[in-house]
Amino acid sequence: MIVKPRIRGFICTTAHPTGCAAHVQEQIDYVANQAAADDKPFKNVLVLGCSGGYGLASRVVAGFGYGANTLGISYEKAPTENKTASAGWYNNLAYERAAKEAGLYARSLDGDAFSEEMRDKAAEVIRQDMGPIDLVIYSLASPVRQHPRTGELHRSSIKPLGEVLNIKTVHVEKGEVSEVSLEPATEEESANTVAVMGGEDWEFWMHMLKNQNLLAPNAQTVAFTYIGSELTWPIYWEGTLGLAKADLDRASQAISNSLTDLGGRARVAVLKAIVSQASSAIPVVPLYVALLFKVMKEQGVHEDCISHIYRLFSTQLIPDAEQRLDDHGRIRVDDQELSESVQQAVRARWPEVTTENLEQLGDLEGFREDFLRIFGFGIAGVDYAAEVDPLGIA
C-alpha cells in the first residue's frame, strides 16, 4: 500500500514503515559520527517510554554511543495487512534490527508500562538476558493511567489553576493565531493529572528493581521533564502539569533515599522544548515553540531531539560529570533555550505575532515538518510514492 499522512487534530493516524526506519537510522548515524566514548559506563539500560522522542533518542545514545544493552518498554498499536502500526511500533522494530546488525542486545516489550504485569515481564527479561541495570530512563508520556493497585482509571487534564486563562495560541494546521479561554481545573482533575504524570509510577519501577536485586552498584535513574519560560508557565508550570512535575521532584528525592546503600541516585532532567504528540496537544505551546525554534535557529543554538539527548548523556550522565544542577537538584540542559538572548527575542515577538506575520516571526513550517517526521514522513531519501508493507517486513 501507499502510505500518506492522515492528520486528525494533534495526531497522525498513519505512520510510514520505511520513513520511521529512516528516521531511526538518521539518529543512529548522528551518534555514530560523534567522538567515540573511551569508557562504557552503561552496560545495561532500561528505557521506559522508548518508542519516540526523548525516550527513543536515549535508547539510541545508550546503545550506539556507549555500547549498552537496552530493554525498551512502550505501548504500541500493531499493524494489519491494510492498516499501519503506530510510529513507535516501527521505531522499535527499526532499532532492534539496527542493534542486532551492530552486535548490540536490544529487546522491546509492548504493553502497559503502568501495570504490574509489565514490571514482572521486564524483571524476567533483565534476569535472564541482561543482568543488573546501570541506568533507568523514565520517559513515559500517556494521557491515561490505570492504577495497578486500585484499578482506578485516571485521565490527565492540561488546564490552568485557579481562574480562567486567556492566552495566545495557534491552530497548527491552519496557521491561525488567536486567543483562547481555558477553564481552570477542578481538584479532581488536578489529582488525576498528578496520578498520571507524577512520580508514583517511577517510584514503583525503581522499588521493584531494587527489591528484586536488578540494579547495579551506583545505578542511576533519570526522569525527563520540561519547565519552559514564563510565556508558557500559566498553562504549563503553573497549571496541572506543573503539579505533576513537582511530584516528580518529590519522587526523585524518595528514590534517591532508597538507593543510598547502592551508591545510586535519582535525578529529574529538565530538557528543551521539542515537537511531540504531547506538546502538540498543549494549548499555547505550539506557538511558543514556533517562535522559539525560529530564534534558536537564527542564533545557531537549535538542537534537535537526538543532539540534545547526546549532550545530556555526554556532559551530565557519564561518571564524574560536573552536573548543571538547579536549587531543586534537577539537571538543567534547557540552558540554551532559556538563555537571555533567546528568551529576550522570543518575549519581544510574543505580543507582536499574528496570523499575518507568523511566517516571519516564527517557524511554524518547521514545527509541522518535525511533527510529520515523528510518523516517518518528510524524511530525506524515502520514496513516498512507493508501495510499502504495513507489516514492516520489507
Q: How far is CA 210 from CA 154, 202, 251, in A?
A: 27, 12, 15
* Amino acid letter, 218: N
Does some domain include residue 166?
no
> What are the respective helix, strand and coil percentages of the chain, to the nearest 5?
40, 15, 40
- CA dihedral 385→81→49→40, nearest 10 degrees, is -70
Q: What mean pLDDT comes out for the span 70-92? A: 95
The predicted pLDDT at position 217 comes to: 97
Does some domain include residue 262?
yes
128's CB contacts (< 8 A; 6+ apart) are none
Does some domain include residue 298?
no
Decide if pLDDT at 394 tops 70.
no
Parent domain of 329: 7-158+196-283+303-335
Q: Which tens digit of pLDDT belongs to each residue from 319-356?
A: 889 999 999 999 999 999 999 999 999 999 999 999 99
Instruction: Cite the active site residues.
Output: 236
Q: Which tens digit of pLDDT belongs to each residue from 347-380?
A: 999 999 999 999 999 999 999 999 999 999 999 9
Q: What mean pLDDT comes out for the span 243-272? A: 97
- Render 248-284 in DSSP notation, one character per residue: HHHHHHHHHHHTGGGT-EEEEEE------HHHHTSTT
Does some domain include residue 375?
no
Q: Is the dihedral of CA 270, 272, 276, 280 positive or negative?
A: positive
Distance, CA of 29 to chain centre: 20
- Measured distance CA(198)–CA(110) in Å, rounded: 22
What CATH number is attached to the domain comprising 30?
A: 3.40.50.720
Helix/strand number for the chain, H first, E second? 14, 13
Does some domain include residue 186?
no
Does some domain include residue 389?
no
**120 burial via Cβ count (<10 Å: 0-12, 13-18, 19+):** exposed
Does some domain include residue 351?
no
How many domains in the chain? 1
Decide if pLDDT at 37 tops 90.
no
Q: Which tens digit of pLDDT belongs to each residue from 198-256?
A: 999 999 999 999 999 999 999 999 999 999 999 988 888 899 999 999 999 999 999 99
Locate cell 520513513: which residue?
19
Does some domain include residue 374?
no
